[in-house]
Structures are given as C-alpha cells and as structure tokens.
C-alpha cells in the first residue's frame, strides 16, 4: 500500500511499517528548545536526573524570543540555557543569531529527519521534506535525553496547488486563505502535505511560510516533498550532503484532498483575534494602522525583505505608522545589508530589530498600546499576542504589510 511522506519517515524511525493512526516510539534526529520553553525543559530533565543529550550536535537551544533580554528574570533564563549547553555539549544559538525555526532550517534539519521542538511552529522545517512537529517542554526534554519520542502517525490532507500567483500575491496569502476556509481547528492532528505545480515552482522561502502556518489550522506538521529546489537550498547552506529525495507514493492514502488555484488568490488578511478570521486586504482600507511588523519565522527571510524593499524603495512610512523590520536570522541580516535593503528600510523610516522573534511574541520590541492596530507578517493574531490584550493584530504578507505602512491603512498591493 502506498505511503504518505509522514508514514515513510515515521516508519523508518520506528523500525517498522506504519500507517496513519498507529502509535510508535520513534528515534528523533534533531531536538530544539527556545528561551521560553527551554528552562522548563531543563527543570523536567533534572526531575528525572537526565541532564544529558543523546545527540548533542543535533540538540539546539535558541535565545530568540526575548533577545536581547528586556528584564532580569529572562536574563537568568538565558543563563540557564547557556549552562545546560556547556554541560551537555549541545548547540547554543545566541542573541542575534535568529529565530529558532529559521536557524533549524538553515543548519540543522535534513530531508527524512524527525525534528521535535518545544515551539509550535517547529512544523516549518517540514518544508525540507522532514517530519517536524512542536511539542511541550517535557516531551522535548525526554527527547533530548533519550533520543526518542512517542508519536501518533497522523492522517494526511493533501493540499494540491495549481496556477500561478498574481503580482504581489504569494504563499502567505495562500495559507491564510486555506486556514480561513478550513478553520483554526480544520486540520487538528493531521499532516498537511503541500504539492502540485505551484509548490514545485516556489522557492524554499515560500515553502517555509506554508509549512510554518500548518499549526494555525491545528495540524501536527506541514510537509513538502524534497526536490531540486531543496537540494539547491541545502547546497547554498553548504549542506549538499544532507540532501535525500523524499516523496509520497503515488497511491498514498489521504484523508482529504483540497485543491487550490493560486491564480485566483487575492492578498489576504486575518483580522483580530483568530487566524481563521480572514478577508481580502482590499476590503479593509478603512482600517488605520499604528504599527507594521515585517519579520518573524513566517516572513522574515531575504525573499520577504526583497519584496518589502521593492515597495518601500524611495518611499516613506506613513507619519502615524511605526515600521519595525526584523530579519529572521543573522545570515539574512548580513545579506540584506549587502543588498542594500537595510538602507532602503531605514530611509523609509523603519526601525531594525535584532534577528529573532522581535515583537511577535509580545515580550519586548514593539508592544502595542491600548486599542492600537498592528499589521504583521507573523503567524498569529491572538488576543494579547503582542503584549497587550487591548491591541488589535491583523496578519498579512510582506507585500501587503510594506504597502500598508506607506499608506497608513490596510491596502491591497496588487496594483502597485
């Protein structure tokens, strides 16, 4: 019987044939925590007397959510991660090196791997043809120590995309649109396998955006077959040897098949306070915005910054709209500097925020005031997300965000 990508990968890691619905104990390749979840992971590991890493070179601790630290409690949490990394020989990704998911994709995860991370958007690395899923501190702590985790093999929804995206429309619009259709719990426990001509023709950046947001439909992971684009990406990261071809069998069994025509998609926006509360950007031009954030693990890649720069070049942000931009990793930051994008942003009136989570998680660097409205390229607009339950968060693509920053209200970027 044919297998989905998830069934193939989980089967390999549990030493037997598996099918959707099976429970297994699987070996894991990469385990990760960040500064919000890592300290609790370490506490849990101490409880069982297991301060150890089975595979230290594939165990990574990221200081990204509250970096640089805005207060002493968080500085102490950071200290704890540094000490653990030293003690166990694990990898520490310091302040300024970038958001965990971007760093994991850049340097850690390979096609065919299983990655577990104590962060819900761990599913992003599925774009490399890996099985990547978010878990809590306890699961990941045990995973770091023993090199395994218990898993239920998920059923898969096949998301088949055909057609070409219009001008300034892309995979962020696609995924917001899909979540709007199926709902924030429309794929709970499922794997979303993205495929079709459009996906084949997209770059890795666009694929990461898709898989990143799978969890916003409740999914366990987003996943994409590895191909020449994956290979090129790994080669660019000097990891060509990590490439492996992974794809679903043509007779794999899917719980559901959803077809999407990319050419029909319009710039899409999620309105407060849920990601599935979507509408077209063009319908929101009465919404004034006080802050725009371009960045996060969802849309802080060089390709995203290039789109934003193409719109912001020789323009200024609206007087009443603050503009915050954060490259998702140090390497992206360097590239943006070399390409002159940062200069374009600063001249347009933007503040550049340290590579990392920035304002996305509401700890520092861009907390909203009461009743203030933010348009962000991040993945979540929950009440209180950006540090204030009285703030209002809209989500969009980098193109929509950049264009809206100039006008001061939410605007459709297809006609520029």
Residue ranges that bind ligand SF4, judged by CB under 6 A: 65, 99-101, 119, 121, 296-297, 357, 360-361, 378-379
Residue closer to other proteins by CB (options 76, 285) is: 76
Q: Which residues pair with 292 in a beta bridge?
A: 323, 375
Q: Which is nearer to ligand SF4, 317 or 385 (CB)?
A: 385
Q: Which residue has the tokens 């970096």?
A: 67
Rule CB under 8 A: say whether 17 interacts with other proteins. no
CA angle 378, 382, 384 (to 5 degrees): 105
User: Does position 347 bind other proteins by CB under 8 A?
Assistant: no
- Sequence-distant (≥ 6) Cβ neighbours of residue 332 within 8 angstroms: 98, 102, 300, 301, 302, 305, 355
Q: Which two tokens stand for residue 403?
A: 């264009």
Closest CA to 402 of 394, 412, 392: 412
Q: How far is the CB of 16 from ligand SF4 (least distance, A)?
A: 33
Residue 55 binding: pick among ligand SF4, other proteins, none (C-beta 5-8 Å cut-off by kind): none
Q: How far apart are CA 53 and CA 195, in angstroms?
A: 35
Structure tokens given for 255: 């719980």
Q: Residue 197 and residue 342: Cα distance in Å, rounded? A: 33
Locate 398 and state its tokens: 């980098």
Q: Is beta strand 256-261 parallel, antiparallel or unpaired with respect to 156-162?
A: parallel
185 binds other proteins (CB under 8 A): yes
Beta partners for residue 261, in sequence order: 162
Map the footprint of other proteins across residues 387-406, applying CB under 8 A: 387-389
Question: What is the chain's alpha carbon radius of gyration, rounded to the nearest angstrom?
Answer: 20
Shorter beta-carbon distance to other proteins: residue 21 or 251? 21
Which 62-81 positions form the footprint of other proteins (CB under 8 A)?
65-66, 71, 73-74, 76-77
Using CB under 8 A, which of the segments 38-46, 52-60, 204-212, 316-324 binds other proteins? 38-46
Q: Does 16 bind other proteins (CB under 8 A)?
A: no
The residue within the footprint of other proteins, chosen from 29, 97, 106, 119 (CB under 8 A), is 119
- Which listed option, ligand SF4, other proteins, none, makes contact with residue 99 (CB within 5 to 8 Å by class)? ligand SF4
- Compute φ and ψ for 404, nearest 5 degrees: -65, -35
In the complex, minimum distance from the CB of residue 146 to other proteins, in angstroms, rounded to a whole number? 7
The yes or no reply on residue 24 touching other proteins (CB under 8 A) is: yes
Beta-strand ranges (E) seen in 298-412 are 322-325, 350-352, 373-376, 392-395
Q: Which stretch binds other proteins (CB under 8 A): 87-95, 130-138, 172-180, 252-260?
A: 130-138
- Asked whether position 256 contacts other proteins by CB under 8 A, the answer is no
Q: Name which position in 15, 89, 369, 384 contacts other proteins (CB under 8 A).
A: 384
3-state secondary structure of 97: coil
Taking the complex as a whole, how short is the minimal distance between the CB of residue 229 and ligand SF4, in angstroms?
23
Unique residue bearing structure tokens 């849920």: 274
Q: Compare residues 209 and 378 and give the one whose CB is closer to ligand SF4.
A: 378
Residue 24's H or E segment, with its range, is: strand 23-27
Q: Are 403 and 311 spatial neighbours (Cβ–Cβ below 8 Å)?
A: yes
Site of interaction with other proteins (CB under 8 A): 23-25, 36-37, 39-40, 44, 47-48, 50, 65-66, 71, 73-74, 76-77, 117-120, 122, 134-139, 142, 146, 148, 150, 152, 184-185, 188-189, 215, 218, 220, 274, 361-363, 367, 380, 382-389
């Amino acid at each position: 019987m044919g297998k989905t990508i998830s069934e193939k990968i989980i089967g390999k890691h549990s030493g037997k044939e598996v099918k959707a619905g099976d429970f297994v104990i699987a070996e894991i390749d990469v385990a990760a925590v960040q500064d919000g979840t890592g300290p609790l992971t370490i506490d849990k590991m101490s409880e069982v007397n297991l301060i150890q890493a089975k595979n230290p070179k594939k165990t990574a601790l990221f200081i990204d959510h509250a970096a640089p630290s805005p207060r002493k409690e968080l500085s102490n949490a950071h200290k704890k991660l540094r000490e653990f990394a030293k003690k166990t020989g694990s990898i520490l990704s310091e302040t300024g090196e970038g958001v965990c998911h971007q760093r994991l994709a850049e340097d850690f995860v390979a096609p065919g791997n299983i990655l577990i991370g104590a962060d819900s958007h761990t599913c992003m690395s599925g774009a490399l043809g890996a099985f990547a899923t978010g878990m809590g501190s306890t699961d990941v702590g045990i995973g770091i120590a023993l090199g395994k985790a218990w898993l239920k093999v998920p059923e898969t929804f096949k998301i088949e995309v055909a057609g070409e995206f219009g001008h300034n429309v892309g995979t962020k619009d696609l995924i917001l649109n899909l979540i709007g259709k199926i709902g924030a719990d429309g794929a709970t426990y499922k794997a979303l396998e993205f495929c079709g001509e459009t996906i084949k023709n997209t770059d890795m950046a666009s694929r990461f955006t898709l898989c990143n947001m799978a969890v916003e439909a409740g999914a366990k992971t987003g996943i994409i077959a590895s191909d020449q684009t994956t290979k090129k990406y790994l080669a660019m990261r000097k990891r060509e040897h990590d490439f492996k071809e992974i794809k679903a069998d043509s007779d794999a069994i899917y719980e559901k098949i959803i077809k999407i025509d990319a050419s029909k998609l319009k710039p899409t926006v999620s309105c407060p306070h849920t990601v599935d509360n979507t509408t077209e950007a063009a319908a929101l031009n009465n919404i004034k915005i006080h802050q725009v954030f371009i960045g996060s693990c969802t849309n802080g890649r060089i390709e995203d910054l290039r789109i934003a720069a193409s719109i912001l070049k020789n323009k200024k942000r609206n007087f009443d709209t603050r503009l915050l931009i954060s490259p998702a990793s140090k390497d992206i930051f360097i590239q943006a500097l070399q390409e002159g994008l940062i200069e374009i942003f600063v001249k347009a009136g933007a503040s550049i925020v340290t590579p990392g989570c920035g304002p996305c998680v509401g700890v520092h660097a861009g907390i909203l005031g009461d009743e203030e409205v933010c348009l962000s390229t991040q993945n979540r607009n929950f009440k209180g997300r950006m540090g204030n339950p009285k703030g209002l968060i809209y989500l969009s693509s980098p193109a929509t965000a950049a264009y809206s920053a100039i006008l001061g209200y939410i605007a459709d970027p297809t006609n520029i």
